[in-house]
Amino acid sequence: MGQEIADEHFGAQDYERFRAALSRETELLHEWLDQQADGPVVPPRLGFEIEAWLCDTAGRPLPINQAVLESMDSPLATLELAQFNLELNSSVFQVGPGCFAAILAELKETLRQARRAARHHQAELLMAGTLPTLQPEDLGLHHMSPQARYRALNTAVLEQRAQRPLQLDIVGHEHLQHTHRDVMLEALATSFQVHTETRPAIAHRAYNASLVASAPVLAAAGNTPFVFGHDLWCESRIPVFEQSVEVGGFAGSARGPIRRVTFGTGYLHQSIGELFTENLEHFPVLLPARFDAPPQELRHLALHNGTIWRWNRPIVGIDECGRRNLRLEFRCLPAGPTLIDMLANTAFAMGLTEHLIHESPDGTLGTPFSEARDNFYNAARHGLDARLRWGHASPEPAPRLIRRHLLPRAAAGLERLGVDPAEANSLLGIIAARTATRQTGARWQRDWVARHGRDWSGLVRAYRGWQNTGSPIHTWGL
């Protein structure tokens, strides 16, 4: 969805033309994947996206992303769906010695530039899974960023739903029910997305492994307990996003049998191309844009894939040298609490995924798909209070499973990737300390509210103050 489109109104011929192009490009992708089956083994590359909030001094959202972007003037920053959100990107880094130190240095500089630009407009920047001060009335089309792709997406989703409004119905510590008439609900959830390059020959195993690894990583990373003043899940982004662009599987609809925001439908068997075949065969086209580009660039395939939000999503891209590349987007993590926390989550996810790829023929370590899926939603709901299964063993408390069994495996995986042991141990040590104290971002926010009351502006100010120190979440006080 990052690419802009020229049109936002489409007819039947546009959909037919797009589906034909999508079918042809899916064939070309399969041919390329077959040709790359014996490609060279090289260290993967790594990149990130951070979605951030723009707030006033009281912690309320400020819809000024265009002005902040102009002041920032950086190729690493771009607009998001809502005018009070920004997307901050990283360069592409080779995984290996010193990579995390280099990544942290660049992200700190990008964040410094963004904060300076925001303050030029009397705004503050916040990295969090959602904004506790946000109210439903803030999420109207009057606060949508002025891109054609966003307007077209809103129209397409509502058409697929036969103009039925979107519904949030989330049962957590409390019960949230909310009806909304546009896709601005999606702006409730802001994430930290990790892009890791993978080789076509092992991409299906890497995808399977990322599904299995996502639950323990998410259990340790929860940072989104409050939505519209309701205490919900440790990582409420998961149900919020799944319900905010729901165009498949709702009552009375015969279209789109698979939900577009999903953990997935099962493991892959032989090729990552199986997911792109699923895209073609099971997901209606939402944005039939026209591209004057050769089929080999896979522009239609990329746009269609960008409207299917798997929590672990394959992406086919073309680098600055014109070479095609394949990466996996790890989408389930929230923004925040700090840069070092997000990099610790990244190291845990990468190391654990690499361990699974190396130790298991299919990347699953014998974990049934249904078990991986249940683990994922248990982790999102309960965080470190979840009980998780690993390798089809009996459920264990998440902190014990992570500290005793998974962090050593993640360390071994990072060593295989060439990450410095000292750097790996430092980052994984943050996960160990977080699980020992049980203080995730979600737990800190709940504890703050328990002590100070439901003062949402006060919560945002306190959170922002600690975030600006750069200290990892397990060290924060109340």
Mean pLDDT for 388-414 is: 95
- Helix-helix angle 369-382:203-219, to 10 degrees: 30
**Bridge partners for 315 per DSSP:** 327
Classify burial at 252, counting beta carbons within 10 Å of its beta carbon; exposed 0-12, middle 13-18, buried 19 or more. Answer: exposed
pLDDT at 2: 54
The answer, yes or no, to whether residue 249 has pLDDT greater than 50, is no
User: Whole-model pTM?
Assistant: 0.95
Residues found in the chain: 478
Residue type, 405: H
- Cα angle, residue 183 at apex, residues 177 and 187 outer, rounded to 5°: 80
Q: What percent of the chain has pLDDT over 90?
A: 86
Q: 124-138, 309-323, 354-368, 427-441 — which is least confidently predicted? A: 309-323
pLDDT at 247: 79
**How confident is the model at residue 28, as a pLDDT?**
96
pLDDT of residue 393: 82
Interval 455-468 mean pLDDT: 98
Tens-digit pLDDT profile for residues 124-147:
999 999 999 999 999 999 999 998
Contact yes or no for 123/72 (Cβ under 8 A)? no
Give the model's confidence band at 255: pLDDT under 50 very low, under 70 low, under 90 confident, else very high: very low
Q: What is the pLDDT of residue 58?
A: 94
Identify the pLDDT of residue 39: 66
What percentage of residues in the chain have a pLDDT greater than 70? 96
Report the distance separating Cα 407 and Cα 434, nearest Å: 12
- pLDDT band of 435, cuts 50, 70, 90: very high
What tens digit of pLDDT does each residue of 293-350 get? Answer: 899 999 999 999 999 999 999 999 887 777 889 999 999 999 999 999 999 999 999 9
Asked if pLDDT for residue 1 goes beyond 70, the answer is no
In the chain, count H helices and then E strands.
Answer: 15, 16
- Would strands 261-262 and 230-231 be described as parallel, antiparallel, or unpaired? unpaired
CB neighbour burial string for 119-147, b if at least 16 within 10 angstroms, e if fewer: eeeebbbbbbbbbbbbeeebbeeebbbeb
**Per the structure block, which two tokens stand in for 423?**
């750097």
Helix axes 456-469, 441-452, angle to 10 degrees: 130
State the chain's mean pLDDT as an integer: 93
In the structure, what pLDDT confidence band is assigned to residue 258 with cuts at 50, 70 and 90?
A: confident
Q: What is the mean pLDDT of residues 178-200?
A: 95
Look at residue 9 in the predicted model and tell me its pLDDT. Answer: 80
The pLDDT value given to residue 257: 52
Concatenated DSSP letters for 348-409?
A: HHHHHHHHHHHHSTTSSTT--HHHHHHHHHHHHHHGGG-EE-STT---EEHHHHIIIIIHHH
Displacement of CA 402 from its chain's centroid (Å): 21
Q: Is the pLDDT at 251 greater than 50, yes or no?
A: no
